[in-house]
Structure 1
Amino acid sequence: MKVFLTKKKLSASVGWSETNGRRWVKQFQEYKPCIKDGKKVFYTEESKNVLSTIKKLSEQGLNSSEILEIFKKYRIPNSESELTKLVAKNTSKSKSLNIYNKDIAETIPTQKEIILPMLSLLKDRNPWTTTMLNQGLAEYFLLNEEQKNVIYPNSKDSIFTHRMRSTRYSLKKQGYIDEVSKFTYQITDDGLELLSDNEHDIHEEIEELEKVIDPFEIIQEKVEDIENELINDLLEHLKQAHWRRLETIVVELMTAMGYGDGEVTEKTNDGGLDGIIKEDKLGLDNIYLQAKKWESSVGRPEVMSFSGALDAKGARKGIFITTSYFTTGAKEYAERLESKKIILIDGRRLAKLMIENNIGVNIKKTVVIKEVDFSYFEGE
């Protein structure tokens, strides 16, 4: 006999509070089989398994966007070993994409060096997708994985991918290639003519192509500037906020991030802990928080003290938040812990998380940028 669950019971079945569970159910609705009875929605045992997998992935430190990416790219893991492998793969990928290495960055071909090889790939007049072009040019320049994945400083954008994108834009803007469908390009007659020009004319045209700038990139740069300014402003307000208000803010943030129902502890009996996140209604699995305002670095002794406070509570999970930053010793100590998990969040990361989860910020203006819907023009 099949068992059908409401959202509330589905959340409880994996140990999440109703509020927390509802948020995750909504975000991953397409992956949870359900049955509609009028306005009521009921979930199956398979839905429970999916939500349980999501919970395990979230406990490994992955956010909803990263979990969605795993589901879309690799499907839903069916076993513990498969889940472990996917977490490791995702973590490894994230680390490789979040590293700037000056020596490797200097080996990436420039836009000027990419232009002719890209046109040469396209000279067969066949349509090429961006993926095909990226792969083709990576092979042409003999780029390894490190070279393909190296990013700009303080960015998640791959240098090689960015330069490929800029080259496509400038060639399209000057009429040497056409975007014939979404992310698919084809050489034009002018592009073929450029390939047959003499060396001097080609060199002059390449110089002109380098000057063509994608306005979307300018917008992105300005958005990054605005975000960095907002992070700095938030940090200043956090440092000036009353210590009790800071504790309330971090509890609200953790609750908004979907970790469970939170509360600020009573100062007379907090044991050095500032907040508790109850991952289930009975408080069987709690996350303890410590939020402190510091101007100087937070070192290993402070993290060890927090670890001791967790031990006194018999707790296995803790989040240490500071408005400043952690020393290398503090980070290494937290990483080496085996009996418990302590997450360290410095000031800049705290501000970024507040922005991502709409804590302490408002939407000033929404800008919508549109592009051609190629599918709209297909058919007779």
Structure 2
Amino acid sequence: MPIPDYQALMLPVLAIAAEGETRVPLAAETLADRLALTEAERDEMLPSGKQRLLHNRVHWAKFYMSKAGLIDSPKRGVFVASDAGKALLATKPQRIDVDTLKGYPAFAEFYGQTGTSSQPDQVAATVAATNSDATPEEQIDAAHAVLTAALKADLLQRVLEQSPAFFERLIVELLVAMGYGGSHEDAARQLGKSGDGGIDGVIDEDRLGLDRIYVQAKRYAAGSAVGRPEVQGFVGSLVGLGASKGVFVTTSAFSRQAIDYAKALQQRVILIDGARLTELMMEFDVGVRVSRMIEVKRLDQDFFDYDT
């Protein structure tokens, strides 16, 4: 079953906390058993890969309820239901969520503090976090995924709008950024100068030029997949040159036959389609630059545990 959102977990988390002192990992394990979650569901990670999804949602359920005074933390990492929390459970509520918590003055004060901020986007972010079914980390990851997808689409469109010469320069920039070719000047001299059948250029694999990679670049519009015959022609050129390594780059995609063919080769031939091309451009900062960085900080428990 899908892991419930953090608001749906508030009631079961409070019920577990009413049974005695617990910790987030223990509460998450108990919940996983009660919900009959599979091993895969228990181990599901946030998109960032930094934390288990279930643990994250249990944490935020606990956090918001603690702001309402329903949960106490008697010591580091431990939480338990407060008298107010037990009193709420005694009413046998069907659900506990943010709207429920707004009925508690402590939470209302915490919630209302967002409206006093002088930074509108901070207010919006905090309000969204308390109203959404997604935890703050999930919202950050989701927003990042949307921005990344939009940037990839924009990158590919801009590449398609440029000239073939620009595309060659892009490949040079990318390969050099990835550590190949030695320098922009050396790589530029080699790429686009071969003119040997299916080879568009050759670039050094290392700075000393001990080994070389042959390159084929096809700037195709979306929907025009590169098929096996084109990849086969590229491989034939590699064989004729006695080369064992090649990179075939396209702005479109490769057919399944082309991909299967490349996998079965003795030569090492890497196929880079439009999606992978934009991923590499973003990873190695080619054609993109940082627009905004958000630094997320957490409480430093070691600092507060330090006893002079």
Q: TM-score, normalised by structure 2?
A: 0.71
Is 1:189 matched up with 2:82? yes
Q: Does 295-304 or 258-267 show the bigger shift?
A: 258-267
Paired residues for 1:1-380 under 5 Å: 107-111=1-5, 114-119=9-14, 121-123=16-18, 125-126=20-21, 128=23, 130=25, 132-148=26-42, 156=47, 161-175=52-66, 176-177=70-71, 184=77, 186-189=79-82, 193=86, 196-199=89-92, 201=93, 203-206=94-97, 208=99, 211=131, 213-261=134-182, 262-263=187-188, 264-267=190-193, 269-295=195-221, 296-337=224-265, 339-380=266-307
Of all paired residues, the percent bearing the same amino acid is 31
1:259, 1:277 within 8 Å by CA — same for their partners in 2?
Answer: yes
2:8, 2:95 within 8 Å by CA — same for their partners in 1?
Answer: no
Q: Who is 1:54 aligned against?
A: none
1:177, 1:188 within 8 Å by CA — same for their partners in 2?
Answer: yes
Deviating beyond 6 angstroms after TM superposition, the runs of 4 or more aligned structure 1 residues are none
User: Aligned to 1:269, what secondary structure does the other structure show?
Assistant: strand
Cα separation, partners in 2 of 1:204 and 1:344, compared to 1, 3 Å: same
Q: Who is 1:15 aligned against?
A: none
Letter in 2 for 1:272: G
Cα separation, partners in 2 of 1:313 and 1:143, compared to 1, 3 Å: farther
Letter in 2 for 1:234: L
Q: Who is 2:113 aligned against?
A: none
Displacement after TM superposition at 1:359 (Å): 0.5
1:172, 1:178 within 8 Å by CA — same for their partners in 2?
Answer: no
Letter in 2 for 1:171: K
Q: Deviations over 1:331-357 (max 9, x none)?
A: 1112222x1222221112211211111
Letter in 1 for 2:63: K
Cα separation, partners in 2 of 1:145 and 1:244, compared to 1, 3 Å: farther
User: Aligned to 2:60, what secondary structure does the other structure show?
Assistant: helix
- Bigger Rg, which one: 2
Letter in 2 for 1:280: D
Cα separation, partners in 2 of 1:362 and 1:280, compared to 1, 3 Å: closer
Q: Aligned equivalents of 1:348 and 1:294: distance in 2? A: 13
Q: Aligned equivalents of 1:204 and 1:139: distance in 2? A: 20
Cα separation, partners in 2 of 1:291 and 1:234, compared to 1, 3 Å: same
User: Aligned to 1:334, what secondary structure does the other structure show?
Assistant: helix
Q: Aligned equivalents of 1:359 and 1:150: distance in 2? A: 32
1:255, 1:277 within 8 Å by CA — same for their partners in 2?
Answer: no
Cα separation, partners in 2 of 1:217 and 1:311, compared to 1, 3 Å: same
Aligned residue pairs total 264
1:119, 1:191 within 8 Å by CA — same for their partners in 2?
Answer: no
Q: Aligned equivalents of 1:133 and 1:275: distance in 2? A: 58
Letter in 1 for 2:233: S
Cα separation, partners in 2 of 1:283 and 1:178, compared to 1, 3 Å: farther
Cα separation, partners in 2 of 1:291 and 1:185, compared to 1, 3 Å: farther
2:204, 2:212 within 8 Å by CA — same for their partners in 1?
Answer: yes
Q: Aligned equivalents of 1:178 and 1:318: distance in 2? A: 61
Letter in 2 for 1:368: E
Displacement after TM superposition at 1:170 (Å): 3.0
Q: Deviations over 1:282-307 (max 9, x none)?
A: 43322222221112111121221222
Q: Deviations over 1:79-128 (max 9, x none)?
A: xxxxxxxxxxxxxxxxxxxxxxxxxxxx2332366445544555565452
Letter in 2 for 1:193: K
Letter in 2 for 1:310: L
Letter in 1 for 2:302: S
Displacement after TM superposition at 1:206 (Å): 4.6
Q: Aligned equivalents of 2:250 and 2:213: distance in 1? A: 17
- Listed as ranges, the gaps of 5+ residues in structure 2 are 101-129
- Listed as ranges, the gaps of 5+ residues in structure 1 are 1-106
Letter in 2 for 1:128: R
